[in-house]
Structure formats: C-alpha cells, structure tokens
Amino acid sequence: MKVIRSIEELQLDGAVGLVPTMGALHAGHVSLFEAARTENDVVVASLFVNPAQFDEQADLARYPRDEGRDIEIAEHAGVDVLFAPPVREMYPDGFATWVVPDDIGAESAARPGHFRGVATVCVKLFNIVRPVRAYFGQKDAEQVVVIRRLVRDLNLDVEIRALPTVRDADGLALSSRNVRLSPEERTRALGLPRALAKAAASSDPVAAARAELNGLDPDYVELLDVDGATILAAAVRIGSTRLIDNVLVKGALP
C-alpha cells in the first residue's frame, strides 16, 4: 500500500473505489474497504480529519488519531493507496469556495456548518481521486442523503454506495468516537441502539424511542426519509461524547 500526501503524487489507473475516512479506523471502515476491493480495480482510502466539518473546536482537538494503526488496518484490508494529505494540501491559503447543502434533517439542524464541511471535502476528494464508486456507512444516514443529493444536483460522475452499520456484539454501532467512552459510559451508550430497536416497530417510533432512552439525553430523535425508506435516527450525548445511530422503520435502504 502506498501512502500519498500530495494531490500531485496521486496517479491512478483503472476503476477506482474511494473510501473517504477521518481515520481511527474500525471494522465499519474495513467493511467499506472490503466492498470497494471486490467492486473496483484500485481501492483508495482517504485519511483526513477534516477541520471544516467540526462545529465544535473541542471535538476536533479530541478526535482520535493514530496514523500508524490506521496504515496497518488499511493495508491489511486490501487498500492500495492511502491518501493522507496535510490540512494545507486540502485547504491552501486563500481557500474560499464551499459547497453548502440545504438542511435535510435534525443532524444538519443540530450541527450548523457540519454538512458544508462534509460536502466540500467530498466534492474535493471526488475531483482529486476521480473514483467510479465511493463508499459510506449507513450509520451516518443524513450524510449519505447529503452526498447522494450533491452528486445528483451537481451532476458528479460517481456512484454512491452506502453499506450497513457494523455493530459490536452487544449492538453498539461502531464509531471512531467510541474509544472516548469510559467503561461506564459505554454501558450507558447501549441504551441508544436498544431504544431505537425497540421503538422501530411502534406506531409512534419517535415517542417510543424517547421513552426508551430513559436516562440518556437526546439531541434529537426523528424519522428521516432516505430515498423512499424511513429510518428512525437519534443523537445522544454521553459525557463529552456525541453518538448517533439509526434503524430502518419502513422500506429498504438503497
């Protein structure tokens, strides 16, 4: 696996599958690498903690970083090229052009500017890497909706593949932020997937999830339309860590 830090060095041949990441890789990312491996000639993973998408500076400062470990995981999962640019390479002096998606749901409302950062960095990565397919996790459901919509609205030539959320054996959705949970917080965090799973079949899933979240303080609980399917999505804060998760309520996710 090659680790590449500059846009100029990135020379790729064949059908490229891109997995955009911010590092702190886990089995959820590995499932995206493996899908990209089977569907493309070349697999590129980006490793870039994108400052533009952090609405809280403290969250950016605390974001887990371990490049050595990420390199090992990506290499082992069959990634051909790890594109790990410094901030200056992506946002040089004078950078002044942004992709600003309209708000879609509660996640955009709760995190002003977040999807502007996500959309901008993804358009940049698509233009730099020129993938045939790009891979995202369904855990970040609103992110998937934003990316699919920007691909459609800006006529970008890339297929967006969204893959199922990978969970620990006890049901907690894998997230780079989970490493920040203390053992006691991690136990409390299990209340989120349990509440969503229980509420999904109810006649009022939002009210049922709120009731089931007893003790956890939700930023929001909402029903979100994802390309004709309905998901029940929520964000909770556990100590200083914010976790999101969702479950399918109706239809099938594309």
Residue ranges in the chain assigned as alpha helix (H): 27-39, 57-62, 67-76, 87-90, 106-110, 114-129, 141-153, 183-189, 191-199, 205-212
Rounded to whole angstroms, the Cα distance separating 209 from 176 reads: 24
Rounded to whole angstroms, the Cα distance separating 154 from 60 reads: 29
Residue 121 engages ligand PAF in binding (rule: CB under 6 A): yes
- Least Å distance, CB 147 to ligand PAF, is 8
Rounded to whole angstroms, the Cα distance separating 231 from 28 reads: 19
Rounded to whole angstroms, the Cα distance separating 39 from 17 reads: 7
Q: Are 163 and 31 in contact (CB under 8 A)?
A: yes
Residue 105 engages ligand PAF in binding (rule: CB under 6 A): no
Region binding ligand PAF by CB under 6 A among candidate stretches 20-28, 158-166, 222-230, 241-249? 20-28
Q: State yes or no: is 26 an active-site residue.
A: no
- Least Å distance, CB 221 to ligand PAF, is 21
Residue 50 engages ligand PAF in binding (rule: CB under 6 A): yes
Residue ranges in 11-136 assigned as alpha helix (H): 27-39, 57-62, 67-76, 87-90, 106-110, 114-129
Count of chain residues binding ligand PAF (CB under 6 A): 10
Please give the residues from 122 up to 141 whose contact with ligand PAF meets the rule CB under 6 A: 122, 140
- Least Å distance, CB 1 to ligand PAF, is 18
Q: With respect to ligand PAF, which residue has the nearer C-beta, 1 or 60?
A: 60
* Main-chain dihedrals φ then ψ at residue 208, nearest 5 degrees: -65, -40
Residue 99 engages ligand PAF in binding (rule: CB under 6 A): no
Q: Per-residue x/- mask for ligand PAF, residues 51 to 90, rule CB under 6 A?
A: --x-------------------------------------
- Least Å distance, CB 118 to ligand PAF, is 5
Residues annotated as catalytic (active site), given as ranges: 29
Contact footprint for ligand PAF (CB under 6 A): 20-22, 50, 53, 118, 121-122, 140, 143
